[in-house]
């Protein structure tokens, strides 16, 4: 029977919103890229040096995480052998993506091998069904769950065995980078002992203003990020009546808490030279420095938004592969020195 549903909003390739409120996120872009959006089942046996499991941490809301552990140094019998713990928030304009997609699996499996760390990746609620601040609240709920495990108030066997809760880092790509800032800011005013938040890593964060920046207006678009995609994702995700000056998208803007008032850990902000969002990301970095915050900036020269997920380019283009290698090296250095 033919459906009478009408599409009322569409983000080319990524999603279609229908007049009855339902959303179809079936990939309709280039078929050769579809594998990046395929889900990877969890595997508790080690494959290429990494094991994964999915855990529901709040049965009432359905909040779940994917945990990655590396094969080496996983005896975990004493604190000396325990590993840094990285909490990951995925991107996708707050509207698409799942923590189990191959693009994330490929990157974060490599990250735990390279850094010899445990990674917990959060399955975030998506807009428009769950508008902001839903993703922010659930990201923070996952962070509080880690602190509950650290205190023995909640239980997760892999984390209890392998993770050093005194070495916790946040990492987020694209709009997940926005969540790194906001979870870190909330954590700064919360007693999370004995857990210690040592740093935040924002990879090409989705910082924006209502007034478009020069890079947003003039930078060439790439398939992974177009102006239309950004504008539509934000209109789906932001609360009704809000603009991109909302504190979640513009933490350096006048509607956000002043950065000087926030207790933030050291931050590594990674900016792609050819990113539409470059200028607003750099504006955030400058605002952080002016607020006397500890912020390091890494520029990916010649690269576009989220290039590190494009496995086709990484496999075929030595320049891209070299930049990805450098990115992993800098993330590892940041974790090791904090």
Report residues of the chain scoring pLDDT below 50. 1, 76-78
Q: Alpha carbon 11 to chain centroid distance?
A: 20
Tell me, what's the pLDDT at 73?
60
Q: How far apart are CA 63 and CA 135, in angstroms?
A: 11
Q: What share of the chain is helix, strand, coil (3-state, %, to 5)?
A: 35, 20, 40
> Are the C-beta atoms of residues 121 and 92 closer than 8 Å to each other?
no
Q: What is the DSSP letter of 24?
A: E
Tell me, what's the pLDDT at 213?
97
For 69, 212, 219, the CA distances from 250, given in Å and listed in that order, are 34, 12, 20
Tell me, what's the pLDDT at 77?
47
Tell me, what's the pLDDT at 75?
52
Q: Alpha carbon 22 to chain centroid distance?
A: 25
Q: Which residues pair with 10 in a beta bridge?
A: 16
Q: How far apart are CA 327 and CA 306, in angstroms?
A: 11
Q: What is the DSSP letter of 254?
A: T
Tell me, what's the pLDDT at 248?
98
Angle between helix axes 318-337 and 102-115 (nearest 10 degrees) is 50
88 phi, psi to nearest 5 deg: -110, 135
* 29 contact partners, CB below 8 Å, separation of at least 6: 12, 13, 14, 223
DSSP, collapsed to helix, strand or coil, labels residue 328 as helix
> Are the C-beta atoms of residues 281 and 271 closer than 8 Å to each other?
yes
Q: What is the DSSP letter of 91?
A: -
Q: How far apart are CA 245 and CA 94, in angstroms?
A: 16
**Dihedral sign (CA 39, 93, 272, 179):** negative
Of the candidates 118, 112, 116, 136, the one whose C-alpha atom is nearest the C-alpha of residue 126 is 136
Would you please indicate which residues are annotated as catalytic (active-site) residues?
A: 174, 275
The 10 Å Cβ neighbour count of residue 21 is 10
Q: How far apart are CA 309 and CA 320, in angstroms?
A: 10
Q: What is the rounded (10 degree) CA torsion for 226, 228, 234, 236?
A: -130
The 10 Å Cβ neighbour count of residue 33 is 16
pTM above 0.85, yes or no: yes
Tens of pLDDT along 84-120? Answer: 999 999 999 999 999 999 999 999 999 999 999 999 9
Q: How far apart are CA 127 and CA 109, in angstroms?
A: 27
Tokens of 44: 């508790």
Tell me, what's the pLDDT at 80?
64
For 29, 177, 231, 293, 300, the CA distances from 93, given in Å and listed in that order, are 17, 11, 9, 26, 21
Tens of pLDDT along 269-313? Answer: 999 999 999 999 999 999 999 999 999 999 999 999 999 999 999
Q: How far apart are CA 67 and CA 5, in angstroms?
A: 38
Where are any strands of DSSP class E within 15-162? 15-18, 23-24, 50-58, 63-70, 83-89, 118-123
């Amino acid at each position: 029977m033919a459906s009478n549903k009408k599409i009322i909003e569409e983000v080319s390739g990524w999603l279609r919103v229908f007049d009855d409120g339902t959303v179809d996120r079936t990939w309709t872009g280039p078929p050769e890229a579809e594998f990046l959006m395929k889900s990877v089942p969890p595997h508790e046996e080690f494959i290429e040096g990494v094991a994964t499991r999915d855990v529901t941490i709040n049965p009432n809301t359905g909040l779940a995480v994917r945990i990655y552990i590396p094969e080496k140094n996983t005896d975990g019998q004493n604190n000396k052998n325990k590993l840094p713990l990285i909490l990951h928030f995925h991107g996708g304009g707050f509207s698409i993506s799942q923590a189990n997609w191959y693009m994330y699996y490929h990157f974060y499996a490599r990250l735990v091998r390279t850094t010899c760390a445990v990674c917990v990746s959060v399955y975030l609620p998506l807009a428009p069904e769950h508008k902001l601040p839903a993703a922010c609240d659930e990201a923070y709920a996952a962070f509080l769950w880690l602190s509950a495990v650290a205190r023995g108030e909640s239980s997760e066997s892999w984390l209890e065995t392998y993770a050093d809760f005194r070495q916790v880092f946040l990492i987020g790509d694209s709009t997940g980078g926005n969540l790194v800032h906001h979870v870190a800011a909330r954590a700064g005013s919360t007693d999370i002992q004995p857990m210690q938040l040592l740093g935040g890593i924002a990879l090409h964060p989705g910082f924006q203003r209502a007034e478009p920046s020069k890079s947003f207006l003039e930078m060439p678009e790439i398939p992974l990020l177009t102006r239309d995609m950004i504008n539509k994702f934000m209109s789906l995700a932001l609360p009704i009546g809000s603009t991109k000056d909302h504190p979640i998208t513009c933490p350096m803007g006048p509607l956000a808490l002043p950065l000087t008032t926030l207790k933030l850990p050291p931050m590594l902000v990674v900016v792609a030279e050819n990113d539409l969002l470059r200028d607003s990301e750099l504006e955030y970095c400058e605002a952080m420095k002016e607020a006397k915050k500890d912020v390091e900036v890494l520029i990916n020269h010649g690269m576009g938004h989220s290039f590190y997920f494009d496995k086709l380019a990484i496999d075929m283009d030595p320049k891209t592969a070299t930049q990805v290698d450098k990115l992993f090296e800098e993330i590892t250095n940041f974790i090791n020195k904090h």
